[in-house]
Amino acid sequence: MDKNSVVAESGANSGLTINLHPLAILNISDHYTRVKCTGSTAKMLGAILGTQNGRDVSMQNSFELTLDESDSTKFDAAFLATRHELFSQTFPTLSVVGWYTIGAAPTPGDVAIHEQFINANESGPSFFVLFNPDIPDGAKTLPFSVYEAALEGESSAGKFVRLECGIETGEAERIAVDGVIKDASGEADQTGEVTSLTMQRNAIAMLYDRALVLLKYVSGVVDGWLQTRKLLITAGTAKPDHDILRQISALVATLPVMDVNELHTELETEYNDVQLTTYLTTLLQQLEAFADYTDKHLSLHARDSDDVSLAARALKASFGYSNSGGHGRMRRGSRR
pLDDT, tens digit, 9 for 90 and up, residues 140-182: 788 888 888 876 654 555 678 888 888 887 777 777 666 666 6
Phi and psi (nearest 5°) for 213?
A: -60, -45
Is this model's pTM higher than 0.95 or not? no
Please determine, looking at this structure, whether the domain spanning 17-173 carries the CATH number 3.40.50.620: no
**pLDDT by residue (tens digit) across 68-95?**
777 777 888 888 888 988 988 988 888 8
Q: What is the pLDDT of residues 245-283, one digit of tens each?
A: 888 888 888 877 767 788 788 889 999 999 999 999 999
Enumerate long-range contacts of 141-147, CB under 8 Å, 24 or more apart. 142/20, 142/25, 142/167, 144/20, 144/25, 144/28, 146/18, 146/20, 146/98, 147/7, 147/106
Q: How many residues does the chain have?
A: 336
